[in-house]
Structure 1
């Protein structure tokens, strides 16, 4: 369970998966929240005012950074206002997106209120992206699309991070040339994580061995010569090291068989809710979560 000392949250950063719907169907996704939508939240997201209350309570409780995730958070029609609210509350703001919905208008709206943008890039090969389900309307992106997107985000003054999930489909791929060209400040490399009830039944053919993951990471470290920080996270590093809030406004963890959810923040408050899940500050710091 999370240990709170001196009225502090166990970690500084909270990930708010505010939006269950997504416009992609990645086979490895461990944040599908089909269970949430099928039981407690039929629409897959809180009403706008409730989401705003959750963000306000998280800030009041002592979190200093909030990452908006999904699903795909840019499907939320009021995501810009929610980010603006978080920024006004003094939080460092971040967004994790598949990048498919970012246009010039979105970038203009994010300028000045969003500190970090994380783009999920698992491959720059359209065939591989199609194989894992990272595509929209039967179309997958390519290297040119991702490089152009990264350039436009950085030109707008946003700090760039790239997330890559290593699976059986891409573990032999060398992304270092793309990463050097994209020049993110951080490159987070995840080992594909199986979670019962989230990606079970789809993820199994995509699982990798510890050796395959380690070799992908070792091959990728060459980008550090260009000032890009490589942050690898195997399954053990991921589990229990994040403060995460689901689309229904509950903290959750993946310590057991599938996700375990707290009582809703709007019912019991942040301190009681976060105490009902496991968040290890030691593991959070060990994986470089403080930045």
Structure 2
């Protein structure tokens, strides 16, 4: 049965490789190499199918030299352009900053702990905390379009109040906290990171009560609130949706270029969750 609600956002993941080794990542890396021409056609097809918001995700989109062309194309097609990056490929140049200002509506960077020790244990990447802080300082003129992303698991949940103070000092426009979800490859570390939805939401409520976020929007995303609110499209055009609860797997529904792919997507996907709709505004 096809849902009456039409998903408005798609995620485009570069699933060939990533420079980081985050053990809880849901992306099944190892797809074929990335071709600029194919990526461009995928973006055009996403717009053609009626999606209005596109999230570029990882592996890091900025590891590819052609990404400027891709972002410019997405913007030209009228899409709300959201890019999530771990920052390693984000060069600190005037040209990059100009590209961000002209093509990117929302830029997400990770911050998973209030200290290098906690953040880097979560990310399995020594030195990444300092590099992230350096990127955030460089992006000071872009903070109105900046979102910080935090994966919350049993490992770092008790650090959230201290992390909130760090986030407030950095003054992004939005802080998105995500309950660890053992979906896809992330299921391999469920014993280490598993966190109940109630524990996650209670921690979020305590943050709201204790921290004055001023102009920072706190976005709380439980695992189940994210299920089937968007299709996930790989750089080689394969389309995936989440399996139905309680299965934490992905279902391949074809290619983005298939004639009836939107019918297959709408069979499973519904409208985006309220927190994400508020993130993207009216578009």
Q: TM-score over 0.5 for the alignment?
A: yes
Of 103, 109, 112, the residue aligned with 1:119 is 109
| Pair 1:199 & 2:195 matched | no
The match for 1:271 is 262
Structure 1 gap ranges (5+): none
- Aligned-pair Cα RMSD in Å: 2.3
Comparing both structures, which one devotes a greater share of its residues to helix? 2
Q: Deviation per CA, 1:106-144, whole angstroms, max 9, x where unpaired?
A: 334323111110111111322223322341xx43324xx
Give the distance between the partners of 2:275 and 2:243, measured in 1 at CA.
Answer: 17
Query: Residue 287 of structure 1: CA displacement?
Result: 3.3
Structure 2 residues without counterparts, runs of 5 or longer: none
1:54-69 map, 5 Å: 54-69=42-57
In structure 2, how many angstroms separate the alpha carbons of the residues matched to 1:192 and 1:49? 34
TM-score with structure 2 setting the length: 0.86
Cα 1:73/1:155, change in 2 over 3 Å:
same
How far 1:229 sits from its partner (Å)? 1.2
Deviation at 1:23, TM superposition (A): 0.8
Count matched residues. Answer: 271
Q: Which residue in the other structure is 1:102 paired with?
A: 90
- Output one character per residue of 1:179-221: Cα deviation in whole Å (capped at 9) or x when no partner: 111112211111000014x123234211123343134312332
State the 1:147 CA deviation: 4.1
Question: SS where residue 176 of structure 1 aligns?
Answer: helix
Paired position in structure 2 for 1:17: 13
SS at match of 1:141: helix
Partners of 2:4 and 2:109 in 1: how far apart?
32
Determine the structure 1 residue equivalent to 2:230.
Answer: 242
CA distance in 1, matches of 2:124, 2:99: 25
Q: Which residue of 2 aligns with 1:155?
A: 141
1:98/1:121 contact within 8 Å kept = no
Residues 128-163 of structure 1, C-alpha deviations (whole Å, 9 max, x = no match): 23322341xx43324xx5444224324147601111
- Which residue of structure 2 aligns with residue 216 of structure 1? 203
Aligned to 2:119: 129
- The residue number in structure 1 matching 2:154 is 168
Match of 2:69 among 77, 81, 87: 81
1 CA distance for matches of 2:117 and 2:195? 19
Worse-matched range after superposition: 108-117 or 267-276: 267-276
Q: Which residue of the partner structure matches residue 250 of structure 2?
A: 259
| Matching of residue 280 in structure 1 with residue 270 in structure 2 | yes
